[in-house]
């Protein structure tokens, strides 16, 4: 197979960031491209139909997604992460859980805050498949101290959005070819799932502040986090508009006990209030992965029904 190339050499931030000075009407409650869907806590994820997947992340809901997908024996699972030891641990756990029925798993060591060339090199080294049916953009950071990526972008925006967007840009040609190939079960049903967050509401009121994307400390840490998650929603929306052959959605996983890395930083007030207010609502990673797994694997017709009938808490709307 030829490793993904696309038009990488011409890539720049304008290729993966679309102007949006205000929160668009299209991400209001109930819109197709930003679904807040909650499966019953005891319901297992649906069986995936597609043979090749790339989830991102080696902990929390990313890890849970890999293990859940492995249970249904797809042709191959590729997954990414910063830590090689954590990647090996996920593979070992999957093999232990599923024994000889475990599908081939390949870990791609990739730091989403690194340069575009580093991300491209990581994919070129480890990703070898003639098709790609599902790409789940999940890994990220939250409320970390100010910093910049290797290419000089604000760290949360670079990690949560730009890294995924570059990976998508590199893999999109293969996904489009897969969408045209119906020779394998699941062919023609290719999906991109961006894991966003209700935290997009914390973005600056003006939307993504493009002129400040190379400043490490513009706004608060929560505003920087919020605009990175808003960008994820807009990425899925832009994909759906420009590449209709790929079913592209963004999902809110709910309140999940997630491992967002040692750099995550919480205010004293939030740490004091959390046990009293939010802790009873938190789900474990396995339940937290249900939404993204649903979006990645459910029958297409379920999207149209769910998008028009679910509200922000996953309850059905009165019609």
Q: What is the pLDDT of residue 281?
A: 61
* 282 vs 33, higher pLDDT: 282
Task: List CB contacts of 30: < 8 A, sequence separation 6 or more.
Answer: 307, 308, 310, 311, 317
For 166-205, how does the pLDDT look when each residue is reduced to its tens digit (9 = 90+)?
999 999 999 999 999 877 655 578 999 999 888 888 999 9
Q: Please give the helix or strand (H or E) that residue 126 lies within, else none.
A: helix 116-126
Residue 121: CB atoms within 10 A of its CB come to 14
**Residue 227 in this model has a pLDDT that exceeds 80:** yes
Catalytic residue status for 243: no
In this predicted structure, the answer to whether residue 313 has a pLDDT above a threshold of 90 is no
With respect to CATH, is domain 18-309 assigned 3.30.1330.10? no
Rounded Cα gap, residues 139 and 57, in angstroms:
5
The answer to whether 34 is a known catalytic residue is no
Q: What is the pTM of this model?
A: 0.77
Catalytic residue among 78, 225, 237, 283: 225
- pLDDT for 187 equals 58
Output 156 or 262, whichever has higher pLDDT. Answer: 156
Side-by-side strand order, sheet with 34-35: 34-35, 246-251, 190-195, 134-137, 52-55, 76-81, 105-109
pLDDT digits (tens, 9 = 90+) for 125-136: 999 999 999 999
Over 90: is that where the pLDDT of 119 sits? yes
Q: Which of 216-225, 237-246, 293-302 has the lowest mean pLDDT?
A: 293-302
Instruction: Locate the domains of the chain by residue range.
Output: 18-309
Instruction: List pLDDT tens digits, range 18-47.
Output: 333 333 333 332 223 333 333 333 344 444
Tell me what pLDDT residue 74 has: 86
Which residue in 63, 221, 229, 283 is the catalytic one?
229
pLDDT at 116: 96
């Amino acid at each position: 197979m030829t490793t993904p190339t696309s038009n990488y050499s011409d890539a720049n931030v304008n290729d993966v960031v679309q102007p949006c000075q205000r929160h668009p009407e299209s991400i209001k409650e109930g819109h197709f491209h930003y679904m807040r869907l909650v499966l019953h806590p005891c319901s297992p994820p649906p069986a995936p139909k597609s043979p090749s997947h790339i989830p991102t992340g080696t902990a929390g809901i990313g890890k849970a997604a890999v293990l859940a997908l492995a249970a249904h024996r797809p042709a191959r699972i590729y997954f990414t992460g910063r830590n090689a030891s954590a990647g090996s641990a996920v593979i070992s756990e999957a093999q232990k859980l599923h024994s000889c029925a475990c599908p081939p798993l390949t870990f791609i060591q990739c730091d989403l805050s690194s340069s575009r060339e580093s991300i491209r090199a990581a994919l070129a080294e480890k990703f070898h498949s003639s098709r790609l049916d599902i790409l789940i953009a999940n890994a990220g950071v939250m409320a970390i101290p100010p910093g910049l990526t290797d290419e000089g972008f604000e760290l949360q925006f670079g990690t949560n959005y730009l890294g995924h967007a570059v990976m998508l840009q590199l893999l999109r040609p293969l996904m489009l070819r897969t969408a045209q190939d119906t020779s394998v079960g699941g062919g023609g049903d290719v999906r991109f799932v961006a894991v966003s967050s209700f935290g997009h509401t914390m973005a600056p009121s003006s939307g993504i502040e493009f002129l400040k994307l190379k400043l490490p400390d513009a706004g608060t840490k929560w505003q920087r986090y919020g605009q990175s998650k808003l960008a994820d929603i807009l990425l899925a929306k832009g994909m759906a508009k420009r590449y209709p052959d790929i079913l592209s959605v963004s999902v809110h996983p709910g309140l999940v006990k997630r491992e967002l890395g040692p750099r995550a930083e919480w205010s004293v007030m939030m740490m004091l209030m959390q046990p009293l207010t939010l802790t009873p609502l938190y789900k474990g990673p396995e339940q937290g992965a249900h939404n993204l797994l649903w979006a990645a694997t459910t029958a297409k017709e379920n999207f149209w029904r769910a998008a028009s009938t679910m509200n922000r808490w996953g309850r059905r709307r009165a019609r």
